[in-house]
Structure 1
Amino acid sequence: MLEYKNLDIKNFRYPGEFERQQAVIIGWPEMAETIEGYSLHENFAKLIKIIVEETPEVKVYVNSPNGSTLPSCEKALKAEGIDLDKVIFTTYPDGSNWTRDYGPDIMVDDNGNMVLAHTRFNMYGQSKPEGELSTKCYNFGAHLALELGCNDHRNSNVISEGGDKEFNGSGVLIALRDTEVNKRNPNMSTEEVENELKRLFNLKKVIWLEKGVYEDELTTSGVLDYIDGVPVYRSSSANGHTDEFCRFVDKNTVILAEVTEEEAKSLNSLKITKERLDAAYEVLKNETDDEGNPLNIIRMPVPEAIYVKSKPGDWINDTWAQRYDEAKDVLDDGTPMPYGEMVMQPALSYCNFLILNDIVIAQQYYEEGRPEIIKEKDNQAIEVLKKAFPNRKIVPLISTALNIRGGGVHCATKNVAKADNN
């Protein structure tokens, strides 16, 4: 892949996800289950089935990072009745399976040209860019760009993740200062990071929100909540992404999660999250799009808390305390590193939906035996999405296994816009 030479970058932009898409990339997870009884392979296969059946015009790339995982992938897809001929399989090395964060960020112009905007990656601040896993993820983006026919690229030394960048398609980016500056690029000022993001993505402005939801802090940052005296831990998280709580649905409309006063009284984690979401609202209500129009803000409820128990032998339990470059004896809040059985909260979010042409894939949580309040919240979230996307079909997906892994429907996918969108 060669640095672009003859293309005028002023004509390129990063499209909004609500625009027409040509492809979606998914990384197949090596682990079959996150916790016993929660099949990650089945959850991924159901997600792929929705995309294949509901958006046949979109190319679906499924990457199995080594040949040994391809049979399990094909088996799971066949079990869901998916025609394998409708899937493009790749086998590039991959340091994770959250393609949203390090998959190809492809900019387009109106003449069908594409350019890869290539940032560095450091495993969510837990490794170095030159580390083995970081390098695999970084190279993955370049490999998949080539698969898509994108042969030109622009490089940047800034460290960033796709899940923390929300584009409106017209030169506006929403991102978290705590993530993009404080945690990923601590040697750079906000102005330096902003200027580099503007250069790389040809942006007109960056809207900085301070912090993400408390539940999306780094897994080993500490105890999330105490329930009847029992500590609850985050099952896994990426340490601060906008796509967990704030999303563009058109060029000047955003969906923003909301915690009620009553909910904030029920859990300490929700109290902290409410403070952060209220602060985000104060920023957004005073912001504009690239033409100076005020942003429209639609509020989205947060899911009812769901807890799962993990034990030694479960993938999420055995890998929970691992750091990419560093082992720790205590959590960041000073509490002892837990071992044995653990109570965990998955990465729950109604904002981690995927927009893909004429559909929106929505995360849902109610299953038989769970409290009715979860069903009520699910229905409320669906109604919000119907309001935000009146011309799209809302397709629900029970995403608990994905969320236990630490991400969601949006995190697990990387969509690529058509290069001739107008």
Structure 2
Amino acid sequence: MNTSTFFPAEWYPQSAVQLTWPHAATDWQASLSEVTRCYVEIAQAIAERQQLIIICHDIDVVKAELHNCKLENIHLHSLLTNDTWARDHGAVTLIEDGKPVILDFRFNGWGLKFAANHDNLLTRRMYTNGLFTAEVHYRNCQHMVLEGGALESDGEGTLLTTVDCLMAPNRNDHLNKEEIEAELKKIFHLKRVLWLHYGYLEGDDTDSHVDTLARFCDPQTITYVQCQEQDDQHFDALQKMEQELLNFKTLEGKPYRLIPLPMADIALDEEGHRLPATYANFLIINGAVLLPFYANAVKNQQAKEALEKAFPQHEIIGINCEPLIQQHGSLHCISMQYPKGVIANHDE
């Protein structure tokens, strides 16, 4: 593997995780105190185990908020941002001949739904500021709109993604499905792409990012959102998604080990619209998995036990993500991991 080019899985050894901190100019303004407490809890869990990069507007304010965290592992950088969804405006990393290479795809606010003029430039500005040791490639990536939440890699040449996202309007309208697959294979040096044609969550602005629905846990294991309530509006689509997963085969031609996650309880915004709460939106870090928790303690425990089966060598840490879901995202959406060797002077 060290002499090849591959798209690392999330469990590949990491340099750091990036968070982009909420501030008053983001959509978090009305609930800034509550969501900041959630970010602090996530930051504390990450910084206990590895380096943490925080992109923020006011370093002194954020440093004060992090006073109970392991500050020696936290690196604060002040850059302009539109919002806080680091999974999608953060850089995606390849490993090429044993060294990381950063890919800077175009981010356009999930198909021009939201402003992204600052967020689209974050990776380049982080590199210009000396944050990345790895080389950044953007000229051969800017022809594609691609978000990290749309990509699930097994680290061995298989990519899992969804048709609804990659074929959504204002993403890559100049390419058809076959052309998108060819580009993905070329850019990420893939052996194959597994497409999910079904599965969605009401209230999801990302057009069905795969990280809200199904995730690789190792090259033979996929965990996924299972809906068993026939009166739930998602029942039909998620049942069909489950059947697709059952029909997928590993590179060795065997069925995947599938581990279902419970369907999170219905969560509504202030106007009564359903929010896309999902237990699939977990973050893998060095030695641990951070799992979003919601209001139902029984389902939280069920999700935790499912991930304990999927990640027997990792500590599973529940984080209350009720504040995050109010802006239609969760724990994985606000974070981006960087493999070992990416971050300047931050590797142990």
Q: Do the aligned partners of residues 280 and 77 (structure 1) sit closer, same or farther apart at CA in structure 2, a change above 3 Å counting?
A: same
Q: In the alignment, is the contact (CA less than 8 A) between 1:44 and 1:402 conserved in 2? A: no
Structure 2: stretches of 5+ with no match in the other structure: 343-348
Alpha-carbon distance, 1:187 to partner? 2.9
Alpha-carbon distance, 1:76 to partner? 1.8
Residues 301-340 of structure 1 mapped to structure 2, 5 A cutoff = 301-309=262-270
- Equivalent-residue separation in structure 2 for 1:207 and 1:390 (angstroms): 25
Q: Do the aligned partners of residues 293 and 143 (structure 1) sit closer, same or farther apart at CA in structure 2, a change above 3 Å counting?
A: farther
- Equivalent-residue separation in structure 2 for 1:359 and 1:246 (angstroms): 19
Q: In the alignment, is the contact (CA less than 8 A) between 1:116 and 1:153 conserved in 2? A: yes
Q: Do the aligned partners of residues 277 and 45 (structure 1) sit closer, same or farther apart at CA in structure 2, a change above 3 Å counting?
A: same
Output one character per residue of 1:377-406: Cα deviation in whole Å (capped at 9) or x when no partner.
111111111111111111111111111122
Residues 119-134 of structure 1 mapped to structure 2, 5 A cutoff = 119-126=105-112, 133-134=115-116
Q: Which letter does structure 1 place at the counterpart of 2:22?
A: P
Q: In the alignment, is the contact (CA less than 8 A) between 2:103 and 2:136 conserved in 1? A: no
Q: Do the aligned partners of residues 279 and 147 (structure 1) sit closer, same or farther apart at CA in structure 2, a change above 3 Å counting?
A: same
- Equivalent-residue separation in structure 2 for 1:186 and 1:203 (angstroms): 22
Q: Which residue of 2 aligns with 1:137?
A: 119
Q: In the alignment, is the contact (CA less than 8 A) between 2:3 and 2:97 conserved in 1? A: no
Q: In the alignment, is the contact (CA less than 8 A) between 1:179 and 1:211 conserved in 2? A: no
Task: Work out the number of aligned pairs and report it.
Answer: 334
- Equivalent-residue separation in structure 2 for 1:106 and 1:143 (angstroms): 16
Alpha-carbon distance, 1:274 to partner? 2.0
Q: Which residue of 2 aligns with 1:277?
A: 238
Q: Which residue of 2 aligns with 1:339?
A: none
TM-score by length of 1: 0.74
Q: Which residue of 2 aligns with 1:379?
A: 301
Among 348, 361, 369, the residue aligned to 2:277: 348
Q: Do the aligned partners of residues 171 and 73 (structure 1) sit closer, same or farther apart at CA in structure 2, a change above 3 Å counting?
A: same
Residues 255-294 of structure 1 mapped to structure 2, 5 A cutoff = 255-260=223-228, 263-265=229-231, 270-271=232-233, 273-294=234-255
Runs of 4+ more than 6 Å apart: none
Alpha-carbon distance, 1:75 to partner? 2.5
Q: Which residue of 1 aligns with 2:135?
A: 151
1:144 counterpart SS class:
helix
Q: In the alignment, is the contact (CA less than 8 A) between 1:34 and 1:405 conserved in 2? A: no
- Equivalent-residue separation in structure 2 for 1:308 and 1:108 (angstroms): 40
Output one character per residue of 1:219-278: Cα deviation in whole Å (capped at 9) or x when no partner.
xxxxxxxxxxxxxxxxxx333211111000001210011111xx231xxxx33x222222
Q: In the alignment, is the contact (CA less than 8 A) between 1:253 and 1:295 conserved in 2? A: yes
Q: Which residue of 1 aligns with 2:257?
A: 296
Q: Which residue of 1 aligns with 2:345?
A: none
Q: Which residue of 2 aligns with 1:72?
A: 61
CA RMSD of aligned residues (A): 2.3
Structure 1 stretch 274-283 or stretch 194-203: which is displaced more? Answer: 274-283
Give aligned-pair identity as a percent: 25
Q: Which letter does structure 1 place at the counterpart of 2:42?
A: L
Q: Do the aligned partners of residues 109 and 187 (structure 1) sit closer, same or farther apart at CA in structure 2, a change above 3 Å counting?
A: closer
Q: In the alignment, is the contact (CA less than 8 A) between 2:226 and 2:242 conserved in 1? A: no
2:217 counterpart SS class:
strand
1:379 counterpart SS class:
helix
1:199 counterpart SS class:
helix
Alpha-carbon distance, 1:72 to partner? 3.0
Q: Do the aligned partners of residues 296 and 62 (structure 1) sit closer, same or farther apart at CA in structure 2, a change above 3 Å counting?
A: same
Larger Rg: 1
- Equivalent-residue separation in structure 2 for 1:10 and 1:274 (angstroms): 44
Quick check: 1:360 aligned with 2:289?
Answer: yes
- Equivalent-residue separation in structure 1 for 2:131 and 2:253 (angstroms): 38
1:378 counterpart SS class:
helix
Q: In the alignment, is the contact (CA less than 8 A) between 2:133 and 2:341 conserved in 1? A: no
